[in-house]
């Protein structure tokens, strides 16, 4: 198990290195840098380039960047002078995260519920209804779902605010929009795995023992069916993070996604690199944690001692 | 009892027919024919298939139809016809000019402002109530530049019913003065005051789906956008799949260290969500159809590579491959003539499932401003444009939204159907 964790950690670090290098190369392949504004005087431009270290040869810039990265220093923003990238991330990420974890909870709880209900009513109305909801969830992208939800529940019915402020309720619509596609994915997966579990011998045994339906579902079905859900939590988290970029734009959340999009058009190198690496690290870490957790949770993997291979 | 006595002479010995016993009576079903037969029985999948066919045909001919009928193109602007809806009405807009008389909690307007509801109205004091009916700036709607003023005096003895009567009478008077006024109706429903102007309704004959904020025909733009969205999706899925097949096929066939390295690369690339790369790559290239396709190809091939590798690994030790090897077939022949064709089922399912992802990715990119440049239309950019003025003109978002959702819906269902049809293990 320890060997497995170490191996995975090493892989994660390698991935992170590849990504930061790739980002660096891509950023410097841009045809122009942040200071190509024709209104800038050449000397000013030169001074700015020196200030941000853009005048040095590329290899040297790379070494400097990597050294700083190891120290956890992501550099200073060009668009917001005097503010370090880490500061901006630290300030804006909590707003994205507030959306993210709510969406994750909505998606997991309702997705699982929907999937189980569907499987228990296999090929009955409820099953078809939940499949329908799931397919709708995958087919309507958030760029459409967001404005429509905002219009009907925010403007027409006036139940929820359409922009995010400090209140808890204002986070509901964006979280729901963000959760919808993950909810659909989970419910589809949950339905298949629950159906599989329901066909197992131990369920027949439990029935033969005279356990009630609730007991069977809670003790036997749920525990076994939930395993595959845990494996996709990592990628799901990644999907929520990228999905957040759009949702933040629709509901005017000043989160990290908003910054990411705006800095791209501004060609703010340190910000783009910083946020990409931050996102990547977050996703890699979450996938890693989920995989390791899986090794601990699933008794079959625990006994075999191989752990998640 | 039946009479079982039969005459021997009535029977004749025909002899053995060894040939007939070896004959295959039913026509042989190839894998593809069998799959097609099963797909045909899947009503949902077939319906999805035909929906897609219609959408694709409309994308091909839609812009041609309107060009020939009315001369619309995706970029021809006509500012006199901006923001039209599919169902037109020439009802005039209502705006409150003066109000000393009543208080209200809030008011709701229809998007054309031809119907206004004041919620929970209460009488306050005597004085004037005035409305402006019609707006010269709405010429494309109401058909003229006329504006009217409707003003009444309310005294302290007036009740709601007499106020409503006065308002309606004033409306009648305006109508008699000028029939172009078309009429107005005031009503008190519970505690709400509802005002509605009268107008004719007709189907928008020259702009079937209405127009956008620049007066461009949405029907033309929708199908022009369909062309671009489908083109981007098909071309990127096609090329990404070919690359994925070659990469995965080689990796799976060679195996060993090479496979290990190639798959590690894929694993690393897959860890970070495509969208991050896509955005990064698109910042390097200027937005356009070609760069978007390239970016989607670069980020989309990994899934196919994994699937093909898995299939090739599974198939490469099967008897017919061993037989082909023994007969002296070279690697290229084995991979491309034996392994890949037999792995085609999962590859096709994967391609079908990839198309909606690509359409979504394109819409996503257009939405955050990295999509096709103006004045080109793609479904994503149409949705983006519509989302901005969704509250006033819902149809501008809903029409591309329906197109995107229907396409993704149909491709997903068709993919499910294909998966069932192409998997011989699911044969009943």
Q: Do A63 and A118 share a structural domain?
A: no
B165 pLDDT exceeds 90? Answer: no
For B88, what's the count of Cα atoms within 13 Å in the CB-facing half-sphere?
Answer: 21
Q: Do A108 and A22 share a structural domain?
A: no
Q: How many CB pairs under 8 A join A and B?
A: 106
Scan for tokens 């066919």, then name that residue.
B53
Inside any domain, residue A11: no
Q: Are A234 and A291 in contact (CB under 8 A)?
A: yes
Q: Do A143 and A288 share a structural domain?
A: yes
Q: How far apart are CA B61 and CA B67, in angstroms?
A: 10
Q: What is the pLDDT of residues B357-414, one digit of tens each?
A: 888 888 888 877 777 877 888 888 888 888 877 777 788 888 888 888 889 888 888 8
Among B276, B287, B400, most A C-beta atoms within 10 A, so best to mutate, is B276
The mean predicted confidence, pLDDT, of chain B is 81
Q: In the listed set A70, A86, A114, which residue is the last one of a domain according to the structure?
A: A70
With CA atoms as reference, report the closest residue to B288 among B375, B217, B205.
Answer: B375
Q: What is the pLDDT of residues A122-151, one digit of tens each?
A: 778 888 888 888 888 888 888 888 888 888
The region of weakest confidence among A266-275, B40-49, B339-348 is A266-275
With CA atoms as reference, report the closest residue to B221 among B239, B207, B204.
Answer: B207
Q: Using CB atoms, pick whichever of B273, B281, B408 lies closest to residue A242.
A: B273
Model-level pTM?
0.78
Q: Do A182 and A64 share a structural domain?
A: no
Q: Tell me what pLDDT residue A309 has.
A: 37
Inside any domain, residue A83: no
Q: How far apart are CA A190 and CA A214, in angstroms?
A: 17
Residues above pLDDT 70, as percent of chain A? 90
Residues of B in contact with A26 (CB under 8 A): 280-281, 283-284
**Structure tokens that stand for B187 in this block:** 């009503």
Determine the distance in angstroms separating the CA of A217 from the nearest CA of chain B, rounded to an integer.
Answer: 27
Q: Do A197 and A159 share a structural domain?
A: yes
Q: In the listed set A70, A86, A110, which residue is the last one of a domain according to the structure?
A: A70
Q: Do A262 and A161 share a structural domain?
A: yes
- Smallest CA–CA distance from B414 into chain A, residue: A135
Angle between the N-to-C axes of helices B344-367 and B274-284, in degrees from 0 to 180, rounded to the nearest 10: 60
Number of H helices, E strands in chain A: 13, 0
Host domain of residue A29: 16-70
Q: How far apart are CA B403 and CA B225, in angstroms?
A: 10
Q: Tell me what pLDDT residue B237 has.
A: 92
Q: Tell me what pLDDT residue B140 has.
A: 67
* DSSP secondary structure of A12-57: HHHHHHHHHHHHHHHHHHSSS-TT--TTS-HHHHHHHHHHTTTTS-
Region A86-90: mean pLDDT is: 85
Q: Do A164 and A223 share a structural domain?
A: yes
For residue B131, what is the enclosing H or E element? strand B127-133
Q: Tell me what pLDDT residue A308 has.
A: 39
CB contact A194 to B (< 8 Å): no
For A212, what's the count of Cα atoms within 13 Å in the CB-facing half-sphere?
Answer: 3
Q: Tell me what pLDDT residue A13 has.
A: 84
Higher-confidence residue: B199 or B44? B44
Q: How far apart are CA B79 and CA B217, in angstroms?
A: 11
Whole-angstrom distance between the N-terminal and C-terminal Cα of chain B?
44
Inside any domain, residue A253: yes
Domain count, chain A: 2
A93 pLDDT exceeds 90? Answer: no
**Structure tokens that stand for B385 in this block:** 């444009």
CB contact B281 to A (< 8 Å): yes
Q: Do A227 and A177 share a structural domain?
A: yes
Q: Do A165 and A46 share a structural domain?
A: no
Q: Do A150 and A34 share a structural domain?
A: no
Question: Between β-strands B122-123 and B184-189, what pairing exists: parallel, antiparallel or unpaired?
Answer: unpaired
CATH number for position A154: 1.10.3720.10
Q: Do A166 and A231 share a structural domain?
A: yes
**Structure tokens that stand for B174 in this block:** 């305006």
A144/B405 touch (CB, cutoff 8 Å), yes or no = yes
Inside any domain, residue A162: yes
Inside any domain, residue A85: no
Inside any domain, residue A21: yes
- Smallest CA–CA distance from B389 into chain A, residue: A147
B281/A26 touch (CB, cutoff 8 Å), yes or no = yes
The region of weakest confidence among A111-115, A215-219, B274-278 is B274-278
Inside any domain, residue A2: no
Region A5-21: mean pLDDT is: 83
A300 pLDDT exceeds 70? Answer: no
Given the cut 0.90, state whether the ipTM is greater than it.
Answer: no
Q: Do A106 and A179 share a structural domain?
A: yes
pLDDT band at A302 (very low <50, low <70, confident <90, very high): low
Inside any domain, residue A90: no
């Amino acid at each position: 198990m320890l060997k497995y964790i170490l191996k995975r950690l090493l892989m994660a670090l390698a991935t992170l290195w590849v990504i930061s290098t790739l980002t660096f190369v891509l950023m410097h392949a841009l045809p122009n840098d942040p200071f190509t504004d024709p209104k800038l005087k050449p000397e000013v431009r030169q001074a700015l380039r020196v200030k941000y270290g853009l005048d040095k040869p590329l290899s040297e810039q790379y070494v400097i960047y990597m050294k700083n990265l190891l120290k956890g220093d992501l550099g200073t923003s060009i668009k917001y002078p005097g503010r370090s990238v880490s500061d901006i991330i630290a300030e804006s990420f909590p707003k994205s995260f507030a959306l993210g974890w709510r969406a994750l909870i909505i998606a997991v709880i309702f997705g699982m519920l929907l999937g189980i209900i569907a499987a228990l009513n296999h090929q009955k109305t409820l099953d078809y209804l939940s499949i329908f909801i799931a397919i709708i969830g995958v087919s309507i992208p958030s760029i459409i779902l967001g404005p429509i939800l905002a219009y009907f529940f925010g403007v027409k019915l006036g139940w929820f605010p359409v922009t995010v402020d400090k209140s808890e309720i204002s986070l509901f619509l964006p979280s729901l929009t963000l959760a919808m596609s993950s909810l659909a994915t989970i419910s589809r997966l949950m339905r298949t795995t629950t159906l599989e579990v329901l066909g197992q011998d131990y369920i027949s045994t439990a029935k033969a023992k005279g356990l009630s339906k609730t007991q069977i579902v809670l003790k036997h079905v749920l525990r076994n069916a939930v395993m595959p859900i845990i494996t996709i939590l990592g990628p799901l988290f990644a999907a929520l993070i990228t999905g957040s970029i759009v949702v933040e734009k629709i509901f005017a959340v000043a989160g990290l996604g908003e910054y990411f999009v705006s800095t791209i058009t501004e060609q703010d190198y340190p910000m783009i690199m910083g946020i990409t690496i931050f996102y990547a690290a977050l996703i890699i870490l979450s996938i890693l944690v989920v995989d390791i957790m899986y090794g601990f949770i699933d008794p079959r993997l625990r006994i075999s001692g191989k752990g998640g291979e | 009892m039946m009479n079982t006595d039969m005459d021997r002479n009535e029977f004749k010995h025909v002899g053995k027919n060894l040939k007939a016993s070896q004959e295959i009576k039913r026509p042989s079903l190839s894998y593809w024919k069998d799959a097609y037969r099963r797909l045909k029985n899947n009503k949902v999948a077939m319906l999805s298939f035909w929906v897609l066919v219609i959408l694709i045909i409309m994308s091909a001919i839609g812009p041609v139809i309107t060009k020939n009928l009315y001369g619309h193109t995706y970029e021809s602007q006509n500012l006199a016809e901006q923001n039209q809806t599919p169902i037109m009405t020439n009802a005039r807009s209502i705006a409150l000019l003066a109000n000393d008389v009543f208080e209200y909690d809030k008011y709701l307007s229809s998007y054309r402002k031809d119907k206004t509801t004041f919620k929970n109205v209460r009488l306050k004091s005597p004085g004037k109530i005035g409305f402006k009916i019609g707006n010269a700036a709405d010429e494309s709607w109401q058909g003229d530049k006329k504006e009217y003023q409707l003003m009444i005096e309310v005294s302290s003895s007036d009740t709601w019913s007499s106020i409503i009567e006065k308002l309606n009478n004033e409306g009648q008077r305006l109508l008699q003065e000028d029939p172009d006024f078309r009429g107005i109706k005031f009503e008190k429903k519970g505690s709400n005051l509802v005002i509605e102007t009268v107008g004719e309704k007709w189907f928008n004959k020259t702009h079937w789906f209405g127009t956008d904020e620049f007066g461009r025909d949405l029907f033309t733009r929708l199908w022009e956008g369909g062309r671009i969205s489908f083109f981007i999706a098909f071309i990127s899925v096609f090329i990404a799949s070919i690359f994925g097949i070659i990469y995965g096929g080689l990796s799976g066939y060679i195996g060993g260290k090479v496979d290990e390295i190639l798959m590690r690369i894929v694993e690393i690339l897959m860890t970070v969500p495509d969208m991050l790369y896509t955005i990064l790559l698109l910042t390097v290239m200027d937005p356009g159809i070609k760069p978007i396709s390239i970016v989607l190809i670069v980020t989309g091939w990994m899934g196919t590579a994994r699937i093909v590798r898995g299939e090739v690994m599974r198939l490469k030790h099967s008897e017919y491959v061993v037989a082909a090897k023994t007969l002296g077939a070279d690697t290229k022949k084995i991979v491309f003539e034996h392994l890949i064709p037999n792995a085609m089922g999962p590859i096709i399912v994967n391609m079908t499932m990839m198309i909606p992802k690509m359409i979504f990715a394109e819409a996503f990119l257009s939405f955050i401003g990295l999509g096709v440049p103006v004045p080109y239309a793609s479904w994503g950019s149409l949705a983006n444009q519509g989302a901005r003025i969704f509250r006033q003109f819902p149809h501008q978002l809903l029409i591309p939204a329906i197109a995107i959702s229907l396409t993704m819906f149909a491709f997903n269902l068709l993919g499910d159907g294909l998966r069932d049809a192409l998997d011989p293990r699911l044969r009943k």
